Structure 1
Amino acid sequence: MKTLKSPFAGFPPAVAALTTVGFFVAVGFSLVIPAIPIFASSFGASATAIGLVVSAFAVARLVSGLFAGRLVERFGERLVLGSGLAMVALFTFMTALAQSYNQLLIFRTAGGLGSAMFSVAAGSLLLRSVDETHLGRAQSLFNGGFLMGAIFGPVFGGVLMGISLRAPFFIYTVTLLVAATIALVRLTPDRLGHESSKPVVDGTPMRIREAMRVSDYRIALALSFLGSWVLFGLRSSIVPLYVTEELGATASILGLGFTLAGIANGLLLLRAGRITDFRGRRYALLVGSYFILLGLIVMTFAFDPLLYILAMVLMGLGGAFYGSAPAALVGDVIKGRGGRVIAFFQMAGDAGMMVGPIVLGLIKDQASFQASFLATLALFLVSFVLVYSLPKRIPGNGTTPAGEVRINPRDD
């Protein structure tokens, strides 16, 4: 009888530890996301004020990203990661105890700094823990932890909100503390085989100015922005309104589309990581871009809810590749010298999530839903120009983006 092989076999211990941490973070986060607008409205907040609470966390992440990167360079990933999660846990607990709208806004905003510390430190440690031939698969495993948590969390979200609007925040606090404990216990130098309390294996942290001289890094920034614009900004803002108002579908159909998109993404996630490693970043990004482009075309001209579901599935498939390949490009460039360079890359994605909904909302108000989709379609075509400009390179062969000779990695 053939035994099942662990997906983490052949990877450093950091990959499994970070994936587990991501799962617990995502479980709690998916609990509070639907509760935040309702909790804010319980204080008599207007629709604008509710939107401010929702976006304040993301704004805080964006503006504190480079600061978080500097902390990683100074104190190392393990301490910054654990401290960041503990900070989010503290302010989430205070959010659960908030007695006014202003308190809610302040506590949610403060939690954004801790979230930035966590994400930058986790990304930095992941990219320097594996060699270039494993980057795509390692990133897919890490993303898979978040995806599983995001699927698992909502199962209990409605029940918790039925008990109390504060309950999801208390549970999120617990899952964050569990994640912080795992990070501090399992990401020690003894377990990882290298100094996780130090930012780089050799040399000094790469500076943003240095990374920007490499075309692959600049392309990764642009793809992170474009991917987030489509996969998060568009889908979280315009698509729900389009489906319910324009297509006349029910909330159940809307939720089904998002669920199937998540399933499609999860089913292809590990495969996308393998393609990123074995066929190259360029090939993986082309496949992902074609899926997303086709999904956008179907969504733009959809006249039936079934076409909406098809479009969501196609974009979910494309998202599997965009979840691993751009980060792998960054890993190829930095070679373990992370910190602010990774923070800047993640900030590009955060910017896409923030700017996209605003711009698309303005286009919709001034024109139509289709105009918003067409604008996104035109913008996303830029990704093809960028991806086609990447060299046809297989990890472990040829030269690096900086022109340095690669050393053949160990066999998988």
Structure 2
Amino acid sequence: MVRASSVLWKFGPMVYLPTLLFSLGEGAVVPLIPVIAASRGATLASAGLIASALVVGQLCGNIPAGWLVSRVGERYTMVIAGVLSLIGVIAGALAPSLVVFTVAVFVVGMSAAAFGLARHAFMTTRVPLEFRARALSLLGGSFRAGMFVGPFLAAVLLAVFHTENAALWFFSVCLVALVLLVLFGPDPEAQAAAADREPAEVEDTGEAVSGSIPTVERAGVFRTMWRNRGVLSRLGLAAASLSAVRSARQVVLPLWGVSIGLDASSIALVVGVSGAIDFALFYASGQVMDRFGRLWAALPAMVLMGLGFLTLSLTHDADTRVLWFGMIAAVLGVGNGLSSGILLTLGADVAPQSEPAAFLGSWRTLTDAGGAVAPLLFSGIAAISSLAIGAAAMGAIGILGAVGFLRFIPRFVPRRPLP
């Protein structure tokens, strides 16, 4: 029987390491995008708009990325995405105007979508079902590690070179290493195809064998989307609510800390501890999903985050509001950590094996849209009412998402016996 550790180690150099390189560079650059824009003459409002071009690029890039992966394969899609990102980053560093810088940020966002979808599609077709969740949780953890460490590297680069462009050049170095690794390293697609051709004495369990994508007539991105409209409109919306609650956490906690009178260092400490808890639990999520089923990770994560936001909304004027803020931040970190890899795993579970990339483009567009809309929704509600009402709304989305998972995971992802 194939061991999980052997499969994960086999994919390390060509899947997890490129992911870490990309996320390290992106994590170093993302916090500085508004700063770079402001240093080049943008107002605070327009700097925020320029920063949002990254998310918009990811939203716009998912469906074209699904088409590209289905035509040229995962490996060459990663190479193309890496080269386009490199062009975007260099253009951003040398941009003569804010318009060029905005376009460069947008291109990096589109490339990030293509890079992420290529990895997701590859793992969907290559990793055996019995440890799919662990493999995808580790993929998500590789991304989180880079995004967690990246800002600290950016701080070191700023201290040494005294210019924000240093982070952009660091991202460029990461991208060059990534492209060279993917282009000249061992091809995991070829290895998997060779393994499929090797005769092996295995027990016939009746389960479908993960292997090469079958050569069938391609349905295309939009036809695949229409054929799978049922799962996308049900389980996909529940997944989008998880993405929404996740991204809301990154906005709600800093603003809440400011509103209750904490200084910047205290807020950073609380948010950092929450992020550390989140990162520490990423592999545990995969273990839970593989051993007990997807629902046992998705439901507790959504309930914890939903109730966490609802509880937070009641503590703004309490005498112990600072203590509550720290505890709720920790709870949200636990909930987010338990949800690591869920969106990747559920997408892989429900993707049609004949053409997973086309479906995953639609799936990732839905989840990315949830993450993009939530901060805007929270900010809008907070502007017309209060932060407490905005936090309560995020909590309600979390509870509704938990109900959606409870209803639709058993329907679309039937529980399978362990090997």
Q: TM-score scaled to structure 2, two decimals?
A: 0.86
Percentage identity across aligned positions? 21
1:262-281 → structure 2 map (5 Å cutoff): 262-281=275-294
Contact 1:24 1:176 in 2 (8 A): yes
For 2:189 and 2:303, locate their aligned partners in 1 and report how far apart those are by CA, in whole Å. Answer: 41
For 2:194 and 2:323, locate their aligned partners in 1 and report how far apart those are by CA, in whole Å. Answer: 51
Could you tell me how far 1:151 is from its partner in structure 2? 2.4
Residue aligned with 2:164, SS: coil
Q: Which residue of 2 aligns with 1:401?
A: none
For 1:33 and 1:10, locate their aligned partners in 2 and report how far apart those are by CA, in whole Å. Answer: 32
For 1:355 and 1:375, locate their aligned partners in 2 and report how far apart those are by CA, in whole Å. Answer: 13
Structure 1 gap ranges (5+): 1-5, 398-407
Q: Which residue of 2 aligns with 1:369?
A: 387
1:329-408 → structure 2 map (5 Å cutoff): 329-334=346-351, 336=353, 337-389=355-407, 390-391=409-410, 395-397=415-417
In structure 2, give the amino acid aligned to 1:281.
R
CA distances 1:37-78 after superposition (whole Å, capped 9, x unpaired):
111111211122101110112112212221111111111111
Contact 1:96 1:169 in 2 (8 A): yes
1:228 partnered with 2:228: no
CA distances 1:330-376 after superposition (whole Å, capped 9, x unpaired):
22222543112111111112212221122211111110001101111
When structure 1 is superposed on structure 2, of 38-47 and 13-22 the one drifting more is: 13-22
Could you tell me how far 1:34 is from its partner in structure 2? 2.0
When structure 1 is superposed on structure 2, of 203-212 and 165-174 the one drifting more is: 203-212
When structure 1 is superposed on structure 2, of 313-322 and 133-142 the one drifting more is: 313-322
In structure 2, give the amino acid aligned to 1:382.
L
Task: Work out which of the residue numbers 26, 31, 34 in structure 1 matches 2:31.
Answer: 34
For 2:275 and 2:157, locate their aligned partners in 1 and report how far apart those are by CA, in whole Å. Answer: 23
1:281-360 → structure 2 map (5 Å cutoff): 281-303=294-316, 304-334=321-351, 336=353, 337-360=355-378
1:9-408 → structure 2 map (5 Å cutoff): 9-11=6-8, 13-14=10-11, 17-162=14-159, 163=161, 164-184=163-183, 185-193=185-193, 200-201=213-214, 203=216, 207-213=224-230, 215=231, 217-232=232-247, 234-244=248-258, 246-303=259-316, 304-334=321-351, 336=353, 337-389=355-407, 390-391=409-410, 395-397=415-417
For 1:194 and 1:333, locate their aligned partners in 2 and report how far apart those are by CA, in whole Å. Answer: 26
Contact 1:224 1:346 in 2 (8 A): no
For 1:38 and 1:64, locate their aligned partners in 2 and report how far apart those are by CA, in whole Å. Answer: 25
For 1:335 and 1:137, locate their aligned partners in 2 and report how far apart those are by CA, in whole Å. Answer: 20
Q: TM-score scaled to structure 1, two decimals?
A: 0.87
Contact 2:66 2:360 in 1 (8 A): yes
State the superposition RMSD in angstroms. 2.5
Q: Structure 1 or 2: larger helix share?
A: 2
In structure 2, give the amino acid aligned to 1:222.
L
Structure 2 gap ranges (5+): 197-210
Q: Which residue of 1 aligns with 2:204?
A: none
Q: Taking structure 1 as reference, are residues 199 and 332 closer, same or farther at Cα in structure 2, changes over 3 Å only?
A: same
Aligned residues, how many? 389
